[in-house]
Structure 1
Amino acid sequence: MQLMWFRRDLRVEDNTALQSALNTQQPVYAIYIATPTTWQQHDLSAIQADLIYRRLFELQNDLARLNVPLLYLEVETYQQSVDALLELSQTLQAERIVFNREYEVNELARDARLSDRAPIDVRGVDDKCLFPPGSVLNQQGQYFKVFTPFKRKYLARLETEPLVISKTQPAAAMPSHDIDDGSLPVFSVHSPFTYPRDSSQSYPVATRAIRQRLRDFCDETIDRYQLERDRPALDSTSQLSPYLAIGALSVRQCLARAQFGCSPPLNDGRETWVSELVWRDFYQHLLHFEPKLAKGHNFVVWTEKVRWPGSSAHLELWQQGKTGYPIVDAAMRQLNQTGWMHNRLRMVVASFLTKDLHVHWREGERYFMQRLVDGDYAANNGGWQWSASTGCDGQPYFRIFNPIAQGERFDPKGEFVRKWVPELQSVPDKYIHQPWKWTESDNLFYPKPMVDHKSEREITLCLFQDAKDFS
């Protein structure tokens, strides 16, 4: 008997650990364990919790076609999840527990606890990235601290090592009385799922529908991705990140579809989207080598000395989308209402919080995780540290986005702004990103800019320079 422990890998296709269990030709049970207290500590958003919950029913259907029942337990913490799993494995008389590895500190500690305590074989396998952390290194055998050379090495391997998408085969048939006698916690609508949920209905969870979204993007949109991806008013991004975040899709499936039917080299659109997938893996690799990132520390050591004098009042206005800068406010309202934000705007609002309001990046990181349907710790942490100039890239600390210039460049007619900030519907295009300059601005129910960008930029430069000098 094999016991497959699902976490953030909620799919049966191209699932390395599941395939390992099925290959034994033994009966297989699957288990998912909810841990609401740990989830709360990790700032799991209510909308992502809902996506996970709905996805479990589809996973159950997919597993049933493989003769694999899905069991379900809810305990409070990761530590308790190990205890519950060991008890279940004993009840099932399982010979082995298999799972796909996760690279955050608490997750690694959980899995180490399982390996230390289990009286049976425990096998963790690498599945989350195309190439496991530690397998993409520089000539000195060290990990890459900058994205571009990592990407170059990654893509060189991809050219010589063909993608292999594993196909699942049914497990040995499960004796019917084993699951029908009511003694096992089979997943159902009556299973406890006490974590708060907010509707994720705009994201279908059926496997066929998710695969179709991937196909449609690669058939209809990806070729113009490089040209249009920074325009938030256009529907030009894949919006597949929620499925990657919960593992309903694998990075291998995405890469394979991006390359499907195309001879190298890929066109600019496909190459740019592939680059975004490589960024995702880059941050996972970084987390593996720098566990301090999962503990709230900066990647660049000297930036720990940077002071963040921003106020809680400013943080709250930023969260509410009431800063007086239209592109920032539109983006934050999109996040609050949908659980998703356009990637260009994630950089804009992060820069604004850290460089214009001088609020610590950890506050923004936390708020994003509490709201995002596609919250992924490594990617979210990497993005915030990149924007705050505390992270692992070659850009200096004077990378400071001008929210007016960003709006004018990427939403020139204000279509995105007007959708999310209806108070500005009547503002002419010329003033849409600086409505305070419009002669009728006093009649708008919209705040004046909470800070002056030019002045705050100078303050940021001084704060970082002071920290650097002090170090």
Structure 2
Amino acid sequence: MSKALVWLRRDLRIDDHAALYHALKLHAQVYVAFVFDTDILDALPDKYDRRVEFIWESLNELKLALQQKGGDLLIRHGKAIEEIPRLAQKLEVAAVYANRDYEPLAIARDEKVAQALLRVDKTLHLFKDQVLFEQDEILTQTGKPYGVFTPYKRAHLAKLNPFYLKAYPVQRYLKSLAGGKAEGMPSLESMGFSRTNLKTMRLPTGIKGAQQLFDDFLQRIEDYHDARNYPAIKGVSYLSVHLRFGTISIRQLAHAAWQLSLAGNEGAATWLSELIWRDFYFQVCYHRPDLQLERRAYRLEYDQLPFPNNRDWFAAWCEGRTGYPIVDAAMRQLNETGYMHNRLRMVVASFLVKDLLIDWRWGEQYFAEKLIDFDFAANNGGWQWAASTGCDAQPYFRIFNPQSQSEKFDAKGKFIRKYVPELTGLDDRKIHAPYADTPNKKDLLVSMPQIDYPMAIVDHAVQRQEALSLYKNNVK
């Protein structure tokens, strides 16, 4: 009659869950727990945090789902490195089961928990769950981790088969869930957090919300390869936050994408490629812990570029008042919703680094504080790609032109008008660069007095040359 404890982290679901499956299969009684880890929460600069509320809402649903299956969800608020060993002792379990994480800080946390458990004669078992291939499962022929995506993708696809996409049959073992009702949920307020605008955003949370979004996306996935580039249309899956917190299984998503791509669905093939990018960044993060622990550039020759780092320009970028409408609309979307369209993440990152000449780490940190789907591996990978300092990054001399990006991907200015409403009255041509044809702001204000929008804080053509010089002359 051995007992086990399943420790949830970024896997807030019941179905197709590696750690839960193994625990249920091997033990007569299985408890399930989640810790609101104060080592993480206390470091958040803003207690108005949509991520915490998303987790809280998803746990509410998960707790009810476990109760309906005869179990419950134990929830703690404190340091995970203390709460998990304490709970394991209290419940007298033989072992703790969890799904493996790949960020250096999370790995260090798990090592501390494992050591604390060993001191009381208990073990921590970790399993692959949040990726399709992990750690050293895909290496080059010389046994090294890949640093370029395209050959990594080829190796990934060559190895991918139904075995790696098969769901863990958790349901058949749920009879082993430990019964009895646990304590109630701590309120957000009791943990020092407040309600956000999450519900008014109508972002569905939890297991049901993830499935709802996935079902909807499958109806339009065929168009994904093209539609994903246009922020004003419903072209992406909107599943990134659900993948981040594991309210849906990566195997479920990849299996659908893989099958559809084999049938010739171009959109599904493109989406599968995006899921492989996610695996790629996880393995980069795992093999290069200095990216997180020391905030190093992947390409060390670019680690100490002398960015001028104008703080006023950075504030304008953060607040969406750069005078470049597509950049400002994207930043306002981020600030208002915690989400930013993926195409625009590339645009604003390029603008910060290559136009404003601000260290990519400043932008990476701002995104880390604001994005509801923040994931260190993907965020760091994306920022270093845009800054030309990362693995398989765009060459430093390829610099996004924010105006041409706007004209191409938001031609009618629909997205801009939503988040920069002061420009609503401009025509579809002028909205991308309001002051381009006027000598100064005053001339436009005379003809359109309702406009209250800043002049462009920099000249793209001038800044482009400055960026080229900075990179060319300072590579170590």
Same fold, TM exceeding 0.5?
yes
**1:35-184 map, 5 Å:** 35-41=37-43, 46-75=49-78, 80-118=79-117, 119-159=121-161, 161=163, 163-169=165-171, 170-172=173-175, 179=180
Q: 1:287 aligns with which of 266, 285, 302?
A: 285
Residues 357 and 40 of structure 1: CA distance in aligned 2, closer, same or farther (over 3 Å):
farther
In the TM superposition, what is the alpha-carbon distance from 1:411 to its structure 2 partner? Answer: 0.9
Between 1:430-439 and 1:305-314, the stretch displaced more is 430-439
Cα separation, 2, equivalents of 1:203 and 1:72: 24
Cα separation, 2, equivalents of 1:134 and 1:196: 41
| Deviations 1:72-120 (CA, angstroms, capped at 9, x unpaired) | 1111xxxx32222111111110011010111111111111111122121
The answer (yes or no) to whether the contact 1:423–1:445 under 8 Å persists in 2 is yes
Cα separation, 1, equivalents of 2:162 and 2:40: 41
What is the identity, as a one-letter code, of the residue corresponding to 1:92? L
Between 1:40-49 and 1:286-295, the stretch displaced more is 40-49
The answer (yes or no) to whether the contact 2:71–2:177 under 8 Å persists in 1 is yes
| Deviations 1:374-397 (CA, angstroms, capped at 9, x unpaired) | 111111111111111111115321
**1:305-454 map, 5 Å:** 305-393=304-392, 395-438=394-437, 441-442=444-445, 443=449, 444-454=451-461
1:2 aligned residue: 4
The answer (yes or no) to whether the contact 1:4–1:98 under 8 Å persists in 2 is yes
Cα separation, 2, equivalents of 1:49 and 1:190: 8
In the TM superposition, what is the alpha-carbon distance from 1:242 to its structure 2 partner? Answer: 0.8
Aligned residue-pair number:
458
1:245 aligned residue: 244
What is the identity, as a one-letter code, of the residue corresponding to 1:210? A
Cα separation, 1, equivalents of 2:45 and 2:239: 21
1:217 aligned residue: 217
Cα separation, 1, equivalents of 2:469 and 2:305: 10
Cα separation, 1, equivalents of 2:414 and 2:43: 37
Cα separation, 1, equivalents of 2:474 and 2:427: 42
The answer (yes or no) to whether the contact 1:226–1:268 under 8 Å persists in 2 is yes
Residues 298 and 362 of structure 1: CA distance in aligned 2, closer, same or farther (over 3 Å):
same
Cα separation, 2, equivalents of 1:449 and 1:175: 61
Cα separation, 1, equivalents of 2:433 and 2:313: 20
Cα separation, 1, equivalents of 2:367 and 2:188: 31
Residues 322 and 369 of structure 1: CA distance in aligned 2, closer, same or farther (over 3 Å):
same
Cα separation, 2, equivalents of 1:108 and 1:47: 25
Instruction: State the TM-score, normalized to the length of structure 2.
Output: 0.91
Cα separation, 2, equivalents of 1:455 and 1:430: 23
Cα separation, 2, equivalents of 1:266 and 1:373: 33
| Deviations 1:171-199 (CA, angstroms, capped at 9, x unpaired) | 445675xx45xxx6454659943345523
* Aligned residues with identical type, % of pairs: 38
Cα separation, 2, equivalents of 1:172 and 1:120: 23
In the TM superposition, what is the alpha-carbon distance from 1:311 to its structure 2 partner? Answer: 1.3
1:13 aligns with 2:20: no
What is the identity, as a one-letter code, of the residue corresponding to 1:457? R
The answer (yes or no) to whether the contact 1:43–1:366 under 8 Å persists in 2 is no
In the TM superposition, what is the alpha-carbon distance from 1:423 to its structure 2 partner? Answer: 1.0
What is the identity, as a one-letter code, of the residue corresponding to 2:12? L
SS at match of 2:191: coil
SS at match of 2:23: helix
1:465 aligned residue: 472
What is the identity, as a one-letter code, of the residue corresponding to 2:266? D
The answer (yes or no) to whether the contact 2:354–2:387 under 8 Å persists in 1 is yes
Between 1:188-197 and 1:401-410, the stretch displaced more is 188-197
2:274 aligned residue: 276
In the TM superposition, what is the alpha-carbon distance from 1:122 to its structure 2 partner? Answer: 1.3
Root-mean-square deviation over aligned CA pairs: 2.0
Cα separation, 2, equivalents of 1:416 and 1:263: 30
Cα separation, 2, equivalents of 1:134 and 1:172: 35
The answer (yes or no) to whether the contact 2:298–2:390 under 8 Å persists in 1 is yes
SS at match of 2:429: helix
| Deviations 1:187-242 (CA, angstroms, capped at 9, x unpaired) | 46599433455232222224233212102211x21101112111111111110101
Cα separation, 2, equivalents of 1:126 and 1:422: 46
Unaligned runs of 5+ in 2: none
In the TM superposition, what is the alpha-carbon distance from 1:133 to its structure 2 partner? Answer: 1.9
Cα separation, 1, equivalents of 2:187 and 2:11: 21
Cα separation, 1, equivalents of 2:340 and 2:305: 28
1:235 aligned residue: 234
What is the identity, as a one-letter code, of the residue corresponding to 1:374? D
The answer (yes or no) to whether the contact 2:320–2:327 under 8 Å persists in 1 is yes
1:203 aligned residue: 203
Residues 225 and 382 of structure 1: CA distance in aligned 2, closer, same or farther (over 3 Å):
same
Deviation >6 Å, runs of 4+ = 42-45
What is the identity, as a one-letter code, of the residue corresponding to 1:271? A
Residues 315 and 394 of structure 1: CA distance in aligned 2, closer, same or farther (over 3 Å):
closer
Residues 317 and 191 of structure 1: CA distance in aligned 2, closer, same or farther (over 3 Å):
closer
The answer (yes or no) to whether the contact 1:26–1:171 under 8 Å persists in 2 is no
What is the identity, as a one-letter code, of the residue corresponding to 1:463? L
The answer (yes or no) to whether the contact 1:19–1:168 under 8 Å persists in 2 is yes
SS at match of 2:347: helix
The answer (yes or no) to whether the contact 1:6–1:31 under 8 Å persists in 2 is yes
In the TM superposition, what is the alpha-carbon distance from 1:64 to its structure 2 partner? Answer: 2.1
Residues 387 and 263 of structure 1: CA distance in aligned 2, closer, same or farther (over 3 Å):
closer
